[in-house]
Structure 1
Amino acid sequence: MTWTVDEQLALTAIEAVGAIQSGRLPAVDYVGTLLARAAALSSLNALTTLDLDGALATARRIDALTPEAKAQLPLAGLPVVVKDNINTAGLQTSAGTPALEGFVPKANAPSVQRLVDAGAIVLGKANMHELAFGITSTNLAQHAGPVRNPYDPGLIPGGSSGGTAAAISARIAPAGLGTDTGGSTRIPAALTGIAGFRPSVGNGGAERRYHDPDAVVPISHTRDTVGPMARTVADIALLDGVITGAGPLPALTLNGLRIGLPAPLWDGLEKQLDDVARAALQKLEAAGVTFVAVAMSELDMLNGMVGGPVAIHEARHDVQAWLVANHAPVQSVAELAARIASPDVREIYDGVLAGVLDAQYDAALNLWRPRLQQYMADTFADAQLDALLFPTTRLAAVPIDELNGSSTVTIDGSPSIGTMDAFLRNTDPASTSGIPGLSLPAGMTASGLPVGLELDGPLGSDRRLLAIGVAFEQVLGALPAPVL
């Protein structure tokens, strides 16, 4: 059969793999269509590197395989984009910062390698908030430049994995990888109308779902993780299964699901976003979901005692270790920081180098974080909850601030609050406590902007959480594609 460009662009990851495995769609045709799409939409600034020759060569190798060989590759011919702080052999890994521009690692991060081994094709590297220390993906124009939201190029796509999200939303790629420290897969997913997943991290070791040691330009080993992003939760489940070797999603029905609604994360929302989120609740309740109000009155306090001290303290040591382990072009955090382009990130790194929160670190890690983790576990157990549900962000996408990268916002005329604080509030508890979190599309505001709902689950419940997400997206439906 002959595929139109629009038909190819509309394919989900699962659909694309099926079409390539069956021989109905040559991988080289599909990759060529997406590369052309990336070139046509370069003004979105979603990608920092495009691997035209490499992607087409890999597609030709996939097409040359026998049907039996293709069937053995669960991601046969699937084009993906990879955030520019995740190591990729032969492709730049710059983390969007001048000191690492042009740096090419010698090996893929393990999560990338598992996708490639399964037949995925890396189209290129995705732009991001410089050094992953921000939620807007607005970088100084003289360097990486701001990533733009496909639904309105004057608005942020979220961050720090904003390039991955924008590329997937704009149909440049059906899926990709981001990273998440405080919300960096989930926030941009919510603002661009796609799905984003943060897998379990727990206390590391066996509790950590994805293992990419020294293969991602870090912020915090306690909080960082790679996470898949795609237009559907089902596609995320496909990538997660390949990365972890997990089997099919568990079967479940919506009838009997108990989902908690944490009061602090439903408070202070932008009205247009709140309207969309509550309309989604009504649809899910009509489909059989039982919602349970949970007070969680200590959540903000406990989370606040952990997040900042852990991230700021660990950044100095973890970045230094990555620079040395990867033989980077600069070998000290001070050298890296001296060349930071974005004012908001430079200010954060001033604090990192000065050790502003070092005194609070030990208590944050060894006292307050265990208390938060127990608090989350008790909330799930005491109320017999399958998951928590709340809006991923407090407000929809806001205008790009090209001078500062990230400054302040207001919510329906409220006093100004820091942009990062505003967008991180709801995603941060999962990151801080190490439990899995999933953002999926809930609907569109009256002004035409995407809204995301987040599901957080107990530690280690990743596959069940994804199964709940798949069931929810079947009720809520897909969002209309951006008009580009």
Structure 2
Amino acid sequence: MNKFLFETIETACKAIKNKQLSPVELTQMTLNQIHEHDPRLNAFITVIEEEALAQAKQLEAEIVNNHVRGPLHGIPIAVKDILQTKGVQTTSGSKIFEGWIPDEDAAAVKRLREAGAIIIGKANLHEFAMGATTENPHFGSTRNPWNVTRIPGGSSGGSAVATATGMAFGAVGTDTAGSIRLPAAMCGTVGFKPTYGLVSRTGCLPFSWSLDHVGPMTRTVKDAATMLEVMKGYDQKDRVFVKRNVPVSFDESLNGLKGVKLGFYEPYMFSGIDHEVKRVIKQAFRHLESLGAEIVPIDIPGIDQALNALKAIAQSEVVSFHEPLLKKFGHVYGDDLKYRFEFGSDVSATGYLRAQRKRDQFVRETINQMKGIDALVGPTNVQPPFEIGTMVPEMAISNMFTLGKTPLANILGFPSLSVACGFTSENLPVGLQFIGKPFSDQRVLQIGDCYEKSEKWVQALKNNQVYTNASVVRNS
């Protein structure tokens, strides 16, 4: 019966709706999976067992009365522990907030609960979401389910691992430079960063308010669309929230990709790429073409300057938020964060404004370059996950830029999807990334869904036995 934990959200909800499976049974199965495997993987900071079962019983009673809230009714979901959860500890991966109990849910969490999702636990993360490895000095390192000695990517590493191992049907992550998509790629799952402003950030502790995104992490693209449809929605508390209706879910999958044009900028997408990862990506490109897609070269001028602008914007904004905390709790932060704060403190007001102007110019120019293009395509991660404990703090600030090609979509604010596309010779997952134009979220998801359905990478998650056979590892 535990194999059911790797079914799609759609399949699970249908079984619940037809009374073939109860929310209580599904929740207990998920909790059993957590109890069995999380000691090895450390995907969770807090498991919400009693509350999850109580919520499941309520949702089961509603099913008995033939009331179904929607496509997430009775589905266990994990939440990155940087989003507020009412009555449940929200640490942001830091000892500073350990024991803090919010009195309200983050906007995205509230919408998930109202739709019938069961919040099963708070997922581990890189401290304050400020890193690409999920090596947390306070709550222990999260471990990659394909090799427990390796990083899972970050900062939403716990969310990706929980989803990849049947400890949740999906998860909520955050993405400032790739923190949804990089761990999804490294764990063999799906990660989607929506168009900037499509999902409210209210109740999410900020990293960089002009770059932060909240989005879904799932095992299939269609599940991501299902979660995103619920998570989006007007929120007057988020000042950058987009007041427009943008459909994202879809019933029918594309039969092929004929007529789809994908832009590929090789100088950026293949720079610094591992030869094994490149092999897998090139194979994925051939498969996209066999489905009918046309992959065409594209130029993206000013990309290096734009990515430098992202670094200046993100690090200066995060310093301004943490400055009051640093005065009192500076000694509590991890070493890699202290280095980041030094970098951010050196950005002047003039430098920050210059970076924002460069960003605006780059967005306009890229939109112009993407005329006639459905999406950009390339690798999500360009390096396989490295060994836990091998990165020095001074190098950590560059991890997101050396491990993957995710930051591009953040400086643009465009929708971006990562799907599994194969494995290296060491059996480590590789992610394929699509970056669409603003508010083309549904189109990007449909393209990724069509590619995904033609492959068998989702089945690989169910068949993965690596973490089930691994010894319990002391978390560092």
User: Taking structure 1 as the reference length, what is the TM-score of the superposition?
Assistant: 0.88
Hey, what does 1:28 align to over in structure 2?
Answer: 24
Aligned mate of 1:38, from 34, 56, 62: 34
Residue identity matched to 1:374: R
Alignment of 1:244-323 (within 5 A): 244=232, 246=247, 248-249=249-250, 252=254, 253-263=256-266, 264-304=268-308, 306-319=309-322
Aligned-residue RMSD, C-alpha: 1.9
Could you give the per-residue CA deviations for residues 409-454 of structure 1, whole angstroms, max 9, x where no partner exists?
xxxxxxxx95343025x11111011111111111111110100011
Hey, what does 2:172 align to over in structure 1?
Answer: 177
Q: Distance in 2 between matches of 1:392 and 1:435?
A: 15
Hey, what does 1:411 align to over in structure 2?
Answer: none
Shift of 1:359: 3.8
Q: Point out where structure 1 has 5 or more consecutive residues left out of the alignment.
A: 202-207, 321-330, 409-416
Hey, what does 1:225 align to over in structure 2?
Answer: 213
Residues 228 and 248, structure 2, Cα contact 8 Å, conserved in 1: no
Residue identity matched to 1:256: G
Q: Structure 1 residue 86 and structure 2 residue 83: aligned?
A: yes
Shift of 1:319: 4.7
Aligned mate of 2:423, from 426, 439, 444: 444
Q: Structure 1 residue 378 and structure 2 residue 371: aligned?
A: no
Q: Distance in 1 between matches of 2:274 and 2:425?
A: 12
Shift of 1:356: 3.7
Q: Distance in 2 between matches of 1:63 and 1:163?
A: 28
Q: Distance in 2 between matches of 1:53 and 1:73?
A: 23
The secondary structure found in structure 1 opposite 2:191 is strand
Hey, what does 2:237 align to over in structure 1?
Answer: none
Q: Distance in 1 between matches of 2:36 and 2:416?
A: 33
Q: Distance in 1 between matches of 2:56 and 2:299?
A: 52
Shift of 1:249: 2.6
Hey, what does 2:198 align to over in structure 1?
Answer: 209
Shift of 1:294: 1.3
Residue identity matched to 2:250: L
Q: Structure 1 residue 17 and structure 2 residue 29: aligned?
A: no
Q: Structure 1 residue 419 and structure 2 residue 420: aligned?
A: no
Aligned mate of 2:337, from 345, 348, 351: 345
Q: Distance in 2 between matches of 1:66 and 1:13?
A: 17
The secondary structure found in structure 2 opposite 1:332 is helix
Q: Distance in 2 between matches of 1:359 and 1:401?
A: 37
Shift of 1:84: 0.6
Deviates more, 1:266-275 or 1:150-159: 266-275
The secondary structure found in structure 1 opposite 2:437 is coil
Q: Distance in 1 between matches of 2:248 and 2:403?
A: 34
Residues 400 and 406, structure 2, Cα contact 8 Å, conserved in 1: no
Residues 339 and 394, structure 2, Cα contact 8 Å, conserved in 1: no
Hey, what does 1:364 align to over in structure 2?
Answer: 355
1:81/1:248 CA distance change after superposition, 3 Å = closer
1:292/1:82 CA distance change after superposition, 3 Å = same
Deviates more, 1:389-398 or 1:264-273: 264-273
Q: Distance in 2 between matches of 1:17 and 1:291?
A: 37
Could you give the per-residue CA deviations for residues 205-240 of structure 1, whole angstroms, max 9, x where no partner exists?
xxx101123x11111110001111001111000001
1:247/1:278 CA distance change after superposition, 3 Å = closer
Q: Distance in 1 between matches of 2:124 and 2:348?
A: 29
- Percent identical pairs in the alignment equals 32
Residue identity matched to 1:249: F
Shift of 1:10: 2.0
The secondary structure found in structure 2 opposite 1:284 is helix
Hey, what does 2:102 align to over in structure 1?
Answer: 105
Residue identity matched to 2:305: M
Q: Distance in 1 between matches of 2:102 and 2:70?
A: 25
Q: Distance in 2 between matches of 1:345 and 1:145?
A: 16
Shift of 1:126: 0.2
Q: Distance in 2 between matches of 1:173 and 1:257?
A: 33
Shift of 1:459: 0.9
Shift of 1:349: 2.4
Residues 233 and 466, structure 1, Cα contact 8 Å, conserved in 2: yes
Shift of 1:13: 1.5
1:182/1:418 CA distance change after superposition, 3 Å = closer
1:284/1:67 CA distance change after superposition, 3 Å = farther
Alignment of 1:231-242 (within 5 A): 231-242=219-230
Residue identity matched to 2:28: G
Could you give the per-residue CA deviations for residues 270-292 of structure 1, whole angstroms, max 9, x where no partner exists?
01111111111111111111111
Q: Distance in 2 between matches of 1:273 and 1:427?
A: 15
Shift of 1:199: 0.8
The secondary structure found in structure 2 opposite 1:476 is coil
Q: Structure 1 residue 334 and structure 2 residue 327: aligned?
A: yes
Hey, what does 2:241 align to over in structure 1?
Answer: none
The secondary structure found in structure 2 opposite 1:369 is helix
1:254/1:68 CA distance change after superposition, 3 Å = farther
Q: Distance in 2 between matches of 1:151 and 1:70?
A: 39
Aligned mate of 2:437, from 458, 462, 469: 458
Q: Point out where structure 2 has 5 or more consecutive residues left out of the alignment.
A: 234-246, 469-476
Residues 150 and 385, structure 2, Cα contact 8 Å, conserved in 1: yes
Shift of 1:30: 1.0
Shift of 1:18: 1.3
1:153/1:103 CA distance change after superposition, 3 Å = same
Q: Structure 1 residue 50 and structure 2 residue 47: aligned?
A: yes
Shift of 1:21: 1.4
1:54/1:454 CA distance change after superposition, 3 Å = same
Shift of 1:267: 2.8
The secondary structure found in structure 1 opposite 2:370 is helix
Q: Distance in 1 between matches of 2:365 and 2:457?
A: 34
Could you give the per-residue CA deviations for residues 107-143 of structure 1, whole angstroms, max 9, x where no partner exists?
1111111110000000010000001110000122xx2
Alignment of 1:59-70 (within 5 A): 59-66=56-63, 69-70=66-67
Q: Distance in 2 between matches of 1:290 and 1:421?
A: 27
Hey, what does 2:93 align to over in structure 1?
Answer: 96
Residues 166 and 192, structure 1, Cα contact 8 Å, conserved in 2: yes
Residue identity matched to 2:183: P
